[in-house]
A and B are shown apart, each in its own frame.
Chain A
Amino acid sequence: MSSNKTATQLQIAAEGIRLVTLHTLAGFGSGHIGGAMSIVETLAVLYSGELRCDPENPDWPDRDRLVMSKGHAGPALYATLALKGFFPREMLTELNQGGGHLPSHCDRTKTPGIDMTTGSLGQGMSTAIGIALGQRMNGSDSYTYLVLGDGECDEGQVWEGALFAAHNKLDHLIAFVDRNGQQLDGYVKNVLDTGDLAEKFRAFGWFTQEVDGHDCGAIQAAVQAAKEHEGEPCMIVLHTVKGYGCTFAEGIEANHHMSFTEEQIEEATAAVYARIEKLSAAENAAEAQEADAPAADAAEEEAE
Chain B
Amino acid sequence: MFTLKPVFEKSPVLMRDALCTALMDMAAENKNIVALDADLVSSSGLKPFFRAYPEQAVQCGIAEANMIGIAAGLSSVGKIPFAHSFGCFSSRRVCDQIMISCAYAKLNVRIIGSDPGVTASYNGGTHMPFEDMGVLRSIPQITLIELTDPVMAKNIIPQLEDVYGVYYLRMPRKSVIGVYEEGSSFEIGKGNQLTDGDDVTIIASGIMVAEALKAQAVLKAEGVGARVVDMFTWKPIDRELIARCARETGAFVTAENHNILGGLGAAVAEAMVSSCPVPMEMVGVEDRFGQVGTEEYLKEAYGLTASHIIEAAKKAISRKK
A and B bind: yes
Interface residues, chain A, CB within 8 Å of chain B?
A: 61, 67, 107-109, 115-117, 119-120, 122-123, 125-135, 137-138, 140, 156-157, 160-161, 163-164, 167
Within the complex, what minimum Cβ distance (angstroms) separates A185 from chain B? 20
User: Which 8 pairs of residues, A with B, have the shortest CB-CB distance?
Assistant: A130-B73, A126-B69, A117-B105, A160-B66, A134-B77, A160-B63, A130-B70, A127-B73
Q: A61-B78, A138-B77 are in contact. Are A117 and B100 (CB under 8 A)?
A: yes
| A133-B74 in contact (CB<8A) | yes
| A164-B66 in contact (CB<8A) | yes
Interface residues of B in 273-304 (CB under 8 A from A): none
Number of interface residues of B (CB under 8 A): 32
Determine the distance from Cα of A134 to Cα of B73 in the docked complex, in whole angstroms: 7
| B73-A128 in contact (CB<8A) | yes
Q: Is the interface of A mostly helix, strand, loop or mixed?
A: helix
Determine the distance from Cα of A116 to Cα of B104 in the docked complex, in whole angstroms: 11
Determine the distance from Cα of A128 to Cα of B106 in the docked complex, in whole angstroms: 16
Chain A residue with the shortest CB-CB distance to B68: A126
Decide if B140 is an interface residue (CB 8 Å cutoff).
Answer: no
| B105-A116 in contact (CB<8A) | yes
Which of B34, B69, B101 counts the most A-chain CB atoms under 10 A from its CB?
Answer: B69
**Stretch binding the partner chain, chosen from B54-62, B212-220, B231-239:** B54-62
Determine the distance from Cα of A50 to Cα of B79 in the docked complex, in whole angstroms: 26
Within the complex, what minimum Cβ distance (angstroms) separates A262 from chain B? 34
Bits for B54-98, please: 1 = Cβ < 8 Å to A, else 0: 011010110101111111111111110100000000000000110
Q: A126-B70, A130-B71 are in contact. Are A116 and B76 (CB under 8 A)?
A: yes
| A120-B100 in contact (CB<8A) | yes
Which of B34, B56, B63, B97 meets A164, CB within 8 Å? B63
Which of B56, B61, B96 meets A163, CB within 8 Å? B61
Chain A residue with the shortest CB-CB distance to B97: A123
Chain B residue with the shortest CB-CB distance to A140: B77
Which of A109, A125, A130, A164 meets B74, CB within 8 Å? A130
Contacts of B56 in A (CB 8 A): 137
Q: Is the interface of B mostly helix, strand, loop or mixed?
A: helix
Determine the distance from Cα of A30 to Cα of B106 in the docked complex, in whole angstroms: 28
| A161-B66 in contact (CB<8A) | yes
Determine the distance from Cα of A130 to Cα of B102 in the docked complex, in whole angstroms: 12
Contacts of B60 in A (CB 8 A): 164
Contacts of A116 in B (CB 8 A): 73, 76, 105
| B77-A61 in contact (CB<8A) | yes
Chain B residue with the shortest CB-CB distance to A71: B100
Determine the distance from Cα of A156 to Cα of B66 in the docked complex, in whole angstroms: 9
| A164-B73 in contact (CB<8A) | no
Which of B75, B77, B104 meets A117, CB within 8 Å? B104
Q: A117-B105, A137-B34 are in contact. Are A125 and B78 (CB under 8 A)?
A: no
Q: A129-B66, A157-B65, A160-B65 are in contact. Are A108 and B105 (CB under 8 A)?
A: yes
Chain A residue with the shortest CB-CB distance to B100: A120
Determine the distance from Cα of A256 to Cα of B78 in the docked complex, in whole angstroms: 36
Determine the distance from Cα of A128 to Cα of B77 in the docked complex, in whole angstroms: 11
| A123-B100 in contact (CB<8A) | yes
Determine the distance from Cα of A125 to Cα of B81 in the docked complex, in whole angstroms: 18
Which of B61, B66, B77 meets A157, CB within 8 Å? B66
Contacts of B106 in A (CB 8 A): 108-109
In the complex, 28 of the A-B residue pairs with CB atoms within 8 angstroms, ordered by the A residue number, are: A61-B77, A61-B78, A109-B106, A117-B101, A123-B96, A123-B100, A123-B101, A126-B68, A126-B69, A126-B73, A126-B101, A127-B76, A127-B105, A128-B73, A129-B66, A129-B69, A129-B70, A130-B71, A130-B76, A131-B77, A132-B73, A133-B58, A133-B73, A134-B77, A137-B34, A137-B74, A161-B66, A163-B63
Determine the distance from Cα of A161 to Cα of B31 in the docked complex, in whole angstroms: 24
Determine the distance from Cα of A167 to Cα of B76 in the docked complex, in whole angstroms: 22
Contacts of B70 in A (CB 8 A): 126-127, 129-130, 133, 164
Within the complex, what minimum Cβ distance (angstroms) separates A205 from chain B? 14
Contacts of A61 in B (CB 8 A): 77-78
Within the complex, what minimum Cβ distance (angstroms) separates A129 from chain B? 5
| B73-A131 in contact (CB<8A) | yes
| A157-B69 in contact (CB<8A) | yes
Contacts of A167 in B (CB 8 A): 61
Chain B residue with the shortest CB-CB distance to A122: B65
Contacts of B100 in A (CB 8 A): 117, 119-120, 123
Contacts of B69 in A (CB 8 A): 123, 125-127, 129-130, 157, 161
Contacts of A131 in B (CB 8 A): 73-74, 76-77
Within the complex, what minimum Cβ distance (angstroms) separates B32 from chain A? 8
Determine the distance from Cα of A161 to Cα of B70 in the docked complex, in whole angstroms: 9
Within the complex, what minimum Cβ distance (angstroms) separates B128 from chain A? 24
Contacts of A157 in B (CB 8 A): 65-66, 69, 97
Contacts of A135 in B (CB 8 A): 77
Contacts of B73 in A (CB 8 A): 67, 116, 126-134
Determine the distance from Cα of A107 to Cα of B58 in the docked complex, in whole angstroms: 26
| B66-A134 in contact (CB<8A) | no
Within the complex, what minimum Cβ distance (angstroms) separates B66 from chain A? 4
Determine the distance from Cα of A178 to Cα of B93 in the docked complex, in whole angstroms: 28
Contacts of B61 in A (CB 8 A): 160, 163-164, 167
Determine the distance from Cα of A161 to Cα of B101 in the docked complex, in whole angstroms: 14
Determine the distance from Cα of A65 to Cα of B63 in the docked complex, in whole angstroms: 24
Determine the distance from Cα of A167 to Cα of B61 in the docked complex, in whole angstroms: 10
Contacts of A138 in B (CB 8 A): 77-78
| B97-A126 in contact (CB<8A) | yes
Within the complex, what minimum Cβ distance (angstroms) separates B321 from chain A? 47
Q: A61-B78, A137-B34, A138-B77 are in contact. Are A130 and B63 (CB under 8 A)?
A: no
Chain B residue with the shortest CB-CB distance to A142: B77
